[in-house]
A and B are shown apart, each in its own frame.
Chain A
Amino acid sequence: MKLDREVAGLTCARVLEHLPDFIDGRLAPAERASVEAHLAGCDVCERFGGSYGAVVAALRRELGTPEPLSRDVEQRLAQALGAPASDDP
């Protein structure tokens, strides 16, 4: 399995390079069309591109919201900033 294989006028290596812009919808229409044509004819890139996009989406979905700070950390922050912790009366 080599990345220099050419399908629909694009090598797999080029497709790999274009993946980030492709999943962001940032490719020019002509480039987008040739990546789509390659993916339609290349199982390997089609599978890998799907996986890449799924991992990026999962990062946002699973880890997008940071854990709230622990009460201790929150209190020490408020103290350092010279203000009472947020829930204190």
Chain B
Amino acid sequence: MDHLLGEATRSAGDAELIARAASGDRAAFTELVERHRAAVHRYARSLTKNDADAEDALQRTFLAVWRSAATFRGPASARSWLFTVARNAALRQARPRREDATEPEALAELGARAGWGTDSPHALLEGAEVRARLGAALARLDADDREVIVLRDLEGLSGDEASSVLGLSLSALKSRLHRARLRLMASLQEEIR
């Protein structure tokens, strides 16, 4: 449909596209979908058990965006709003979240599992298929750990944006991200041994 979209639509910012979608502009909505569908799908997939649920969440995300575009309030980040909608859609059918009743693992222990104190933590990224190994390690994490890495390290959301999507304080977000990265390193580490 590219030829139907004016240059103005393709160069518009997300917030502007959402505002235009709110007033019924289908082309603006289509551009928004095309711009973000792959990222929203990946984020949904990080939260759901299977591809079918992720696809369902993807569809419901953009339906909700179309219906509730008028409720978006700039200048909040359009991406964090989009990911928040996606999160709600994905978690509706996702597994129950991990209970946080257990004592959080001490940072020192996590660090040790992640390779602190070993001779060659650099070996984590050596060898072939780095992309595949990172993807596999990410897939082995708990959903909580995976989603914070997807939002911050893969999608590049700022700390403020990610904390707003996850409903966490900035300091809680930072701590979750740090622990998630250490668990990812531990997972890469175990694979090498």
Q: Which A positions have Cβ atoms within 8 angstroms of B? A: 1, 3, 12-13, 16-17, 19-21, 44-45, 47-48, 50-52, 54-56, 58-60, 62-64, 66-69, 73-74, 76-77, 80-81, 83-84, 86-88
**Residue contact B138 to A69, C-beta cutoff 8 Å:** no
**Residue contact B39 to A66, C-beta cutoff 8 Å:** yes
CA distance A45 to B94 in the complex (A): 38
A37 CB, min distance to chain B CBs, angstroms:
19
CA distance A10 to B161 in the complex (A): 31
Q: Inside 8 A of B188's CB, which chain A residues have their CB? A: 55
Q: Inside 8 A of A86's CB, which chain B residues have their CB? A: 1-2, 30, 34
CA distance A21 to B106 in the complex (A): 19
Tally chain B residues at the interface, Cβ within 8 Å. Answer: 48
Instruction: Please tell me if B107 contacts chain A, counting CB pairs below 8 Å.
Output: yes
**Residue contact A63 to B154, C-beta cutoff 8 Å:** yes
**Residue contact A47 to B120, C-beta cutoff 8 Å:** yes
Q: Look across to chain B and name the residue whose beta carbon is closest to the beta carbon of A55.
A: B185
**Residue contact A58 to B125, C-beta cutoff 8 Å:** yes
- What 5 A-B pairs have minimum CB-CB distances, sorted nearest first? A51-B121, A1-B117, A80-B59, A62-B131, A66-B38
Question: 1/0 contact trace for B117-137 toward A, CB 8 Å?
Answer: 101111011000011001100
Q: Inside 8 A of A84's CB, which chain B residues have their CB? A: 1
CA distance A44 to B119 in the complex (A): 8
**Residue contact A63 to B37, C-beta cutoff 8 Å:** no
The listed residue with most B CB atoms (<10 A of its CB), out of A44, A63, A64, is A63
Q: Look across to chain B and name the residue whose beta carbon is closest to the beta carbon of A24.
A: B159
**Residue contact A62 to B116, C-beta cutoff 8 Å:** no
B93 CB, min distance to chain A CBs, angstroms:
16
CA distance A32 to B185 in the complex (A): 24
**Residue contact B154 to A76, C-beta cutoff 8 Å:** no
CA distance A74 to B40 in the complex (A): 12
Q: Inside 8 A of A87's CB, which chain B residues have their CB? A: 1
**Residue contact A77 to B58, C-beta cutoff 8 Å:** yes
Q: Look across to chain A and name the residue whose beta carbon is closest to the beta carbon of B108.
A: A3
**Residue contact A47 to B107, C-beta cutoff 8 Å:** no
Given known A62-B134, A77-B59, contact A48–B153 (CB-CB < 8 A) = no
Instruction: Please tell me if B181 contacts chain A, counting CB pairs below 8 Å.
Output: yes
**Residue contact A83 to B153, C-beta cutoff 8 Å:** no
A46 CB, min distance to chain B CBs, angstroms:
10
Q: Look across to chain A and name the residue whose beta carbon is closest to the beta carbon of B55.
A: A73
**Residue contact A77 to B117, C-beta cutoff 8 Å:** no
Q: Look across to chain A and name the residue whose beta carbon is closest to the beta carbon of B26.
A: A83
Q: Look across to chain A and name the residue whose beta carbon is closest to the beta carbon of B42.
A: A66
Q: Look across to chain A and name the residue whose beta carbon is closest to the beta carbon of B1.
A: A86
Q: Look across to chain A and name the residue whose beta carbon is closest to the beta carbon of B36.
A: A66
